[in-house]
Amino acid sequence: MINLTPTQAAAVAAPQTSFLHGSAGSGKTTALQHRLLRLLNEGEPAYTILILVAEPDHRPAYVNFLHQSGIGPYADLNVTTYTQLAQELVALFWPLVARPAGFVHPFQPPTFLSYDLAQLLMWRIITPMLAEGAFTNLRLRPQQIVSQLLDTLNRAALNALSLDEAVQRQMDTWVGEPERLLHLADAANAARQFRRACLQNSLLDLSLAVEVFDTQLVQHPEFHRYFSERYRHLLVDNVEEQTPAGQNFIASLMEATQTTAVAHDSGGGYKRFMAADPRGAIQFRTRCAAVFDFPDLFTAPADMMHLANLVENYLLHTTLPTGAAKDAVIGVVNGRYRRDMIANLMPILNDIIEKDNVHPRDIAIITPYLDGALRYTLTHALQQARLPYFLLRRRSSPREEPRIRAWLTWLALAHPAWGIRPTPYDVAEALTLSIHGLDPARAQLLTDRLYAPEQGRLLPIGDLPDAQVNRVGADMAALVEELRLWLENSAVNGAPPLDAFLHSLFNDLLAQRRFHLEPDLAGAAVCDWLVQAAGRLRRAATAIGLHTAADVGAAFINGIHYGLVTANPPELGEPPDPDGIMISTIYGYMLAGRPARVQVWLETAATGWWDIPKQPLSNAFVLAQSRPPDLPWTTGEEFNIRNELLTHLIRGLVVRCQDGIILANSDLDRRGIRQDGILWRALQPVISKQ
């Protein structure tokens, strides 16, 4: 166990309510962990302690801490997020809230919609609207419309706003072209249809679960009695990342618990795009009986803070000290193109690891975006340099994974009645990935001869001339025929449920040694991911209006192809090394909360560091509860928010860095346009001295 500072020790022992305030890396979470340990050591049952964290990924920090303490069993300890808790408690108290919340069939148990299922339901709603001319001239792909509509619903609930209030805010604050108001009206129509479908079929997406919890359950006497008797102690980490609804909930609990400790990161609020309210979080300073300010920084030296000051002075016109900022930058890497930048970065990383004794796990490569091309170039270069790494991905598109496309191709060919006809390219790719040793050229030849795209099926191998069989190889041809017969028999003998079919496809056929000589770890990962996603859809199918196997199958395949099913796909190839170099986007890194000895700021001159998401149908800042509801949204406000966010991001990065930062930049972006972003300009005083 570490030695606590006097401030930490006082916070650990504080009675009643306490507020822990300081920068990231100042020891607040450590104090909360030791407060938890003290409660358990004093005989408090774990059952009576609730810990609210900002992200599910933050839960292991508390669990691992208790493991290492050797305290013994604590199975009933609840470490969770506000949204997870809301969903669990709404399900537990469903009979109390279903009818007053407006559900048409309150006796029908709820079906929770994961994000991918909510997307599919919204897709079914907007498809006929698009056909009738809704969202005309809106430069968004349909899947972007779907995600922004769900964002509006979620942000409304998390800001403790009704759907009507959220719709009206967006319309009242818009001062641009009138056509946008028509788009917002279409968005309101779609959101209301989505909500009616949920109430009609007892569906609970994130927005409705939070709204029911916030407006119906929290104030219910039975719930209050349950909660006050169950939980006696509350610990809240990163309250600035909580939404207004979550902060309201925490405030109400402070009156019911014996002790409450709330930790606040003074530079946080990185989840503002997801309705976090850092301004509202400061209320707990006056609500708490004791306030502890954490002035020390255990993760960042003074030169790091001076580098953050340099950026803040440039963006916000402050006059903070910057004399040591140059010492925070340990290298600048340039290149005309991204591939040049990455190639020049590799020897520097090797030197840091070998000569400076920095372990790969203590290095983080941080970028404003991680598109497929950049991800491939970067990971390929790391592999060539024999540097271990892992990707910290919060969400990506499974349709980008070739093996997932391959499995979906076989699913479609086994069910021709669904009307989905894979392209010849899809079939050739699927053959290459499914049969070990079959190269793309021979797979394409087989596809040209044996695939009937208008029928959506493979032809018998007997239709292949002997010369072509000899060219492909009799063994390969036999495996293609075995695959064809397996798919055909699946359709003839009555197709099993979607998830069972996918499980059988891999385990009974494609995982066999004749198809793959070595254990197919990548195929197993794909199978597991697809089976889980298909199972979620099958269980919720009837509730979201999918009544036949064809409806379910087509929705599953199209949902992935359209980019609607966006849960993290499996890692393919060599398993990622959790002790390797972390590769992450800015916000992914910040929310993970993991410090590093060395950070690489990739594409430092890219405008992505300063950009905010373009969401014409869902403005996160307008929907913030703390913002005046009818104040017009102006370019000036957007400019100020961009500067404020970048200032907070840079300060958040430097307080999580101990040794130094490498600035890596390419002159041209992926489109060949010269880069000169605002962060690059802000850092020029230190770049010129390198």
Superfamily (CATH) of domain 6-87+220-294: P-loop containing nucleotide triphosphate hydrolases (3.40.50.300)
Question: pLDDT digits over 68-108, tens only?
Answer: 887 777 678 899 999 999 999 999 999 999 999 999 999 99
Domain 303-396+577-687 homologous superfamily, CATH: P-loop containing nucleotide triphosphate hydrolases (3.40.50.300)
CA dist., res. 133 & res. 567, Å (int): 30
Across all residues in the chain, what is the average pLDDT? 91
C-alpha angle 521/526/527, rounded to 5°? Answer: 95
Under the banding of pLDDT at 50, 70 and 90, the label for residue 186 is: very high
In this predicted structure, what is the pLDDT of residue 463? 84
Q: Identify the H or E element spanning 29.
A: helix 28-41
- Using DSSP bridges, classify how beta strands 233-236 and 49-52 pair: parallel, antiparallel or unpaired: parallel
The answer to whether 6-87+220-294 and 303-396+577-687 have equal CATH topology is: yes
Share of the chain above pLDDT 70, in %: 97
206 pLDDT more than 60: yes
E strand or H helix at 641, and its extent? helix 635-654
Nearest residue to 92 via CA among 211, 213, 10: 213
Torsion of CA 33, 34, 37, 38, to 10 degrees: -140
What pLDDT does 512 receive? 93
Residue 205's pLDDT band (cuts 50, 70, 90): very high
Contact 439, 610 (CB under 8 A): no
**pLDDT tier, 578 (very low <50, low <70, confident <90, very high otherwise):** confident
Q: Identify the band that residue 289 occupies on the pLDDT scale cut at 50, 70 and 90.
A: very high
Q: Which residues pair with 260 in a beta bridge?
A: 17, 234
The one-letter amino acid at 565: V
Q: In angstroms, rounded to a whole number, what is the distance separating the alpha carbons of residues 584 and 597?
A: 15
* Contacts for 551 with CB less than 8 Å, ≥ 6 apart: 541, 545
Which residue matches tokens 């079929």?
Answer: 201
Query: What are the backbone angles phi and psi of residue 661, rounded to the nearest 5°?
Result: -120, 140
Gap between the Cα atoms of 149 and 183, Å rounded = 11
Pairing state of beta strands 389-392 and 363-367? unpaired
Percent of the chain with pLDDT over 90: 71
Which helix H or strand E contains 263, and what residues bound it? strand 259-265
Mean pLDDT along residues 600-616: 93
Q: Please report which confidence band the pLDDT of residue 563 belongs to, taking 50, 70 and 90 as the band edges.
A: confident
pLDDT higher than threshold 80 for residue 381: yes
CA distance 298 to 162: 42
What does the pLDDT read at residue 575?
63
Among the ranges given (1-5, 301-305, 313-317, 415-419), the one the predictor scored with the smallest mean pLDDT: 1-5
**What phi-psi label fits residue 195: left (phi over 0), alpha (psi between -120 and 50 degrees) or beta?**
alpha
**What is the Cα–Cα distance from 621 to 627, expressed in whole angstroms?**
8
pLDDT in tens, 409-433: 999 999 988 989 999 999 999 999 9
Whether 322 and 306 have beta carbons less than 8 Å apart is answered as yes
Enumerate the domain spans of the chain.
6-87+220-294, 113-204, 303-396+577-687, 399-561
Cα 642 from Cα 600, distance rounded (Å): 22
Band of residue 251 on the pLDDT scale cut at 50, 70, 90 = very high
Longest pairwise C-alpha distance within the chain? 87
Alpha helices, DSSP H only, in 291-356? 302-316, 338-355
